[in-house]
Amino acid sequence: PEVAPPRTIRELPDELISQIAAGEVVERPASVVRELVDNALDAGARHIQVKLMAGGVRAIVVEDDGCGIPVAQLPLALKRHATSKIASLSDLESVATMGFRGEALAAIASVSEMAIASRTASDAHANRLDARSGELQPAARARGTSVEVRELFFATPARRKFLKTDATELAHCVEAVRRHALARPDVGFAIWHEGKLVDQWRPATPEQRIADVLGEDFIADSRAFSHSAGPLALTGRAGLPEAARSRADQQYVWVNGRYVRDKLIAHAIRSAYEDVLHGQRQPSYVLFIEIAPELVDVNVHPTKIEVRFRDGRAIHQSVRRAFIDALAASRSAEAEGVDS
Ligand code: ADP
Ligand code: MG
């Protein structure tokens, strides 16, 4: 049989490269919200506003009061692989910021209509850059940055078709902000949809923030723990077995402030509940893991939702221990009739 002749190899245009890369990072409006809030936190913001239209599909605007972007660097912020957060491999190995890949803004800009307005402390006024036209104009705002993302996936109908109803997309966006809000009680957050306030969390203590986001019931039905082992510190709250749920919708884990999903950690927690939780019942918990950055690789997944630990066994043991102790303490407190 005849073999077809080889096809020509071409270098892809930059825009198409970004659109392909965007597929990995931008799945839905909530992915955009997450990336933009990450950036605001990296910029040292104390207050972050997230404003959405039509579940984020029509518009996502994230405003912060962080350090801003110098006007000369605004176009660079939109370029792929351009970042202010790392400069070398050794920086990558000890990265302490949420971002470092320099991809998010470029990726989002390639699948939406984006504009950034920003002002630094030394600027006389803000400047607004329109990503598509490249037009730069003076704008009005206080120090900080506003990123506007409109008509997500307007040019990639295949992607747009996968979006769910506005209500579902909104719920995912709100969940993305809740994850940030739980990890950063020191920062104020507000979420708006169609001009109406959906949720608002003022700066608070960690415990108060958990109560504000997850509810007073969650506090009443869980026990705090704090456990440290060498370069590892674990804090959080373990839900009581009797408050377990039918769905795994209150299980939150962060590593160095970054929300993650990790099988090893989930397994360690599950095993701590082994004797007290039966069937498909799901424990509620929040777990904050702080670990020396050198001991965890955050560059294993484009969205950084997965991480790899240098010493997985030690993590597993410590997490399991922290939860077992919290649950045991709650049982002995109960036996003595005191409330912890
Ligand atoms: P990364 O966060 O990985 O560096 P991004 O594409 O998300 O990549 O952002 C590119 C750069 O733009 C950042 O490194 C930062 O310098 C700047 N930037 C983005 N968002 C903000 C913001 N809200 N405030 C200040 N600077 C920002
Ligand atoms: Mg970023």
How many angstroms does the Cα of residue 8 sit away from the middle of ligand 2? 35
Amino acid 339: pLDDT = 54
With a 6 A CB cut-off, is 105 part of the ligand 1 pocket? yes
Q: Say how many Å lie between the CA of residue 39 and the centre of ligand 1.
A: 5
Cα torsion through 103, 31, 290, 96, rounded to 10: 20
pLDDT given at position 35: 97
Structure tokens at 222: 């869980």
CA of 11 to the centre of ligand 2 (A): 26
> What is the predicted pLDDT for the residue at 192?
98
* CB distance 301 to 262 below 8 Å: no
**Closest residue (by CA) to atom 12 of ligand 1?**
77
Distance 83 CA to ligand 1 centre (A): 6
Positions in the chain whose pLDDT score sits under 70: 337-340
Structure tokens given for 202? 């003022």
Residue whose CA is at the smallest distance from ligand 1 atom 21: 39
C-beta atoms surrounding 90 within 10 Å:
10
Give the pLDDT of residue 14.
87
For 20-40, the pLDDT digits (tens) are: 888 888 999 999 999 999 999
The pLDDT of residue 279 is 84
Q: Which ligand is closest to the CA of 103, given by its number?
A: 1
Give the chain's domains with CATH numbers. 14-201 (3.30.565.10), 215-335 (3.30.230.10)
CA of 7 to the centre of ligand 1 (A): 39
Is residue 301 within 6 Å of ligand 1 at its C-beta?
Answer: no
Unique residue bearing structure tokens 């630990």: 309
- Residue among 36, 62, 83, 301 whose CB has most ligand 1 atoms within 8 A, to mutate: 83
Nearest to 324 by CA among 225, 233, 230, 246: 225
Please give the backbone phi and psi of residue 186, each rounded to the nearest 5 degrees, phi first.
Answer: -75, -10
Distance CA 87, CA 92 (A): 8
